[in-house]
Chain A
Amino acid sequence: MSAAPKAAIALLILLALVPPAAAAIGDPFLTVIATRMAVFAIAALSLDLILGYGALVSFGHAAYLGLGAYAVAVCARHGITDLFLQMGAAALAAALFAAVSGAVSLRTRGIYFIMITLAFGQMAYFFFVSLSAYGGDDGTALAARSTLFGRAWLENDTAFFYMVLACLALAYGGLDRLVHARFGRVLTGTRESELRMRAIGYRPFRYRLAAYVLSGMICAVAGVLLANQTEYVSPAYMAWTRSGELIVMLLLGGVGTLAGAMAGALVTVGLEELLAGWSEHWRLCFGLILLAVVLWSPAGLTGLLRRLLAGGRR
């Protein structure tokens, strides 16, 4: 274990220090931003599992963020306000959607896979847009944050932040074990050479599908937290541009390293907040920065990534 886990642990500690720092300088909004960073770091980690380790460029990952968010709204309406029960429901819904959409998408490769995952993401998006019971296009506000063991502890922003941070640490720790376990090595193998994997007796499809489902479930948990952070759910969480942003996070941090995914999420959310505070047309600047990074400094793209996609294109 070299520099990567150290970097990840450093990032987690850095995040953990935000609330006291925010209290010290009297800017509670910093904690809110740090919460968003941690939520998107979980989502980015989940995407990194399939994109970074499995070379599956999914462009519909935001759908799982949305599924998680709506799980909170649906559960709350039926009287289930416990955070962990909601997470369970979200993960279950995500697993079902991922199993079905993954079984179809994973039959394809390259550009097809990108476009099909995008289309499935849109399908989920339109489903919730037309769900008038939950506000349709506009979405719906949550009455309150989720509860823990029947108590409204999470209403406190700092407490909620540490809850999110704990989830992030768990997601990171779990995924770090997974990518270094038997399953992770097989998944990495399918990224490196599908043909070789089949020639040594593996059927890549089942491992890809398992990773795809797991990734969706983790992202749905991030969605549960996102809904709690904003206390609002809307189809905008699963807009295709949101899926694009998740990929941007991976690119900026470096694909195929878990610490990179976390760092990318932190940088992207931070940059967005910074630019948004500066101009209402922040997307223009964000786009220009992104374009400049891709065109002139593919440093975020490690050598690993180059090979990964050179292989993917055949």
Chain B
Amino acid sequence: MANLFLLQLLNGAQFGILLFLVAAGLTLVFGIMDFINLAHGVLYMLGAYLMAMFALETGSFWLGLLLALATTLVVGLVLEWLVFRRLYDRPHLDQVLATFALMLILSEGVKILWGSAPLNVAMPELLSGSIPLAGPLRYPVYRIAIIVAGLATAAGLWWLIARTRAGMLLRAGASNRPMVAALGTDISRLFLLVFALGAMLAGFAGALVSPVLSVDPGMGDSILILTFVVIVIGGVGSVKGAFAGALLVGIVDTVGRIFGPIWLKLVMDPAAATQAGRVLAPMLVYLLMAAVLSWRPNGLFGRPS
């Protein structure tokens, strides 16, 4: 039982790390530009598809990853330049609609290019197999690699935000938008940078997860909504909040799905517990969000409005 719990905890952390990669860019865009982007999940999906394509073309996981990252970065730049920068000063409703339209266009485009059937990506030789964890328990190397890569990215982001000039502007922007706006021309380049970086991180998450999940056109939708939950729980604009929120959501969701029915069996009869568990588990993160918000309406690390 304890081993199973440890296993699920690791799975939850791994899922949380992926959520963080997607959420990091989005929360900055929300916080600094006060911009709502519904097309962010599509970038995650795009990362996975590009990974599938490039890995197949080049025959190498690593080369595929590199090309997928570069391409999502370029896509992010182009989207910012073509669409998003026209929307910063527009009302939220316009942003919702434009990015909703973009989401329809991109996901339909993906279907046209790659079809609706799920694709698979081969795991690299180096990261396949598993390592012993505790006693007879083993854990896949690749999943550990995801956790490590995610943590390294988080550390890199921390360095970027805490130690560089661009990061200083970001922090200033998240806490005081008018001040950053007053800095003038630098700002449009900063927005471009944040956007492209966010796109690349989302693409990175999609590429990372492609060998363990099947790549399909619906994958962007489900992660986008969970990312919103993460951002709302963590507090809009806070990367620290996104990290905490992502791990919380990842672990609660994963552990809840496995242990929810088990724990429910302690208080009700098994058949009812199984049914109730199956219904309740997917709703757990949303209940968590509602609970956090009734306690702190601006999220765990959000600044009061």
Contact = CB atoms under 8 A, between A and B. Distances in A.
A111 B30 contact: yes
Interface stretch (A28-36, A179-187, A302-310): A302-310
B108 A283 contact: yes
Contacts of A119: 225, 228-229, 232, 286, 289
B228 A287 contact: no
B93 A287 contact: no
B112 A284 contact: yes
A284 B107 CA distance: 8
Nearest to A296: B86
A283 B94 CA distance: 19
Contact of B278 (A132, A240, A255, A301): A132
Contacts of A210: none
B87 to A, nearest CB: 8
Nearest to A136: B278
Contacts of A286: 101, 104
Interface string A89-126: 00000000000010010011111101110111011001
A119 B233 CA distance: 11
Interface in B56-107: 83, 86-87, 90-94, 96-98, 100-105, 107
B103 A287 contact: yes
B93 A309 contact: yes
Contact of B92 (A107, A110, A284): A110
Which of the four size classes fits the interface of chain B?
35 or more
A111 B105 contact: no
Contact of B93 (A57, A120, A122, A132): A57
Interface stretch (A67-75, A192-200, A243-251): A243-251
Interface stretch (B14-22, B189-197, B262-270, B290-298): B290-298
A219 to B, nearest CB: 18
B282 interface: yes
Interface residues of A, number: 50
Contacts of B32: none
A104 B91 contact: no
Interface string A235-260: 00000110010011001000100000
A132 B112 CA distance: 32
Nearest to B94: A294
A143 interface: no
Contacts of B236: 111-112
A312 interface: yes
B109 A284 contact: yes
Contacts of B239: none
B279 interface: yes
Contacts of A109: 305
B28 interface: no
B36 interface: yes
A107 B297 contact: yes
B231 interface: yes
Contacts of A251: 93, 97
B143 to A, nearest CB: 24
Given A130-B279, A291-B105, A298-B94, A122 B286 contact: yes
B278 A116 contact: no
B172 interface: no
Given A114-B96, A116-B232, A298-B94, A287 B279 contact: no
A288 B105 contact: yes
A178 interface: no
B283 interface: yes
A289 to B, nearest CB: 8
Contacts of A142: none
A108 B231 contact: no
Contacts of B105: 283-284, 287-288, 291
Given A118-B225, A132-B275, A281-B108, 8 more contacts: A59-B96, A110-B92, A115-B228, A240-B221, A244-B38, A290-B101, A294-B98, A308-B91
24 contacts: A57-B93, A57-B96, A101-B290, A104-B294, A111-B30, A116-B232, A118-B225, A119-B225, A119-B228, A123-B287, A241-B221, A244-B100, A255-B93, A283-B104, A284-B109, A288-B105, A290-B98, A291-B98, A294-B87, A298-B94, A301-B91, A309-B92, A310-B91, A313-B91
